[in-house]
Structure 1
Amino acid sequence: MSGTIEARLAEIGVTLPKPAAPVAAYVSAVEQNGFLHISGQLPFDDAGELMRGRLGEDRDIAFGQLAARACAMMLVAQMKAALGDLDRVERIVKLGVFVNSDPRFTDQAQVANGASEFMQEIFGESGRHARSAVGVPVLPLGVAVEIDAIVAVTDG
């Protein structure tokens, strides 16, 4: 049924952001052999500002989870831009979550849950995925979280 995922977004009050344009020499998404590979997406708050900071230094887990959710929303916006119809999403296969972390911060998995739970909320069982949650010393533009994705898709 066309529009099922869009209806779910509306039901929970989510308006997708405008898909961010690449900031370097790459494309936002590549569809190949039944998979959509989405480049790392950065978190923007409701005002359109980048969510910057380092977890365990000047940002807490709650902020990190919001940043991860914002990245997930941008991933879904990129899916819509690339596929035209979110109902072409068959399954979220894998998320790669990069968390700008102080060396003593070890709760990257908790931060990543902000994205994982959003995917499950939107796509249901098809939103359950494999995942990596990795702490890194710095991310582009000083953001707190960056997330990329692999998505199984149906023919359009």
Structure 2
Amino acid sequence: MRRWADARPGYRWAPEPPKPPLVLRQRVAALDAAVSGSDEPAILIAHSAGCITTVVWAARHTGPVRAALLVTPPYIDGAEPDEPGDVPWVVPRGRLPFPAVLVASRTDPYTSFAQFEQFAADWGAELVDAGDAGHLDTAGGFGPWPDGERLVTELGDR
């Protein structure tokens, strides 16, 4: 997804806080700054913990968002914060205020397919079965992802 942002002038990358730790409060603030920094409705594209950041942001903020592509969100309900003073990684379960597609893998090491199905149902997202795709990241050998680009285009056409 970083490749997409680098290759397309209309894409913006929401800055990530330094790693580690993954500080949820900072991640949500970075997303809010990126979304509110434009009057143009955004299509949010998130992977892994970025999906959780997106749904936490959507539960607390409003902004010009047309849709979201959520790729392999991890099941981290109730995980303790990585930094003292941060909020726990509690995943909101309400319907998202914009259309969403959740891409699920049958072999993701962080989330079972049943958990992906529950996230999709809770968030009102369309579930896309990516099959045996691991965590759908470069560490798992994924490079260009034309199916993902097609999903973003379809979201933009809604």
* Larger RCO (CA within 8 A; separation ≥ 6): 1
TM-score interval, smaller chain: 0.3 to 0.5
TM-score, with structure 2 as normaliser: 0.32
TM-score, with structure 1 as normaliser: 0.32
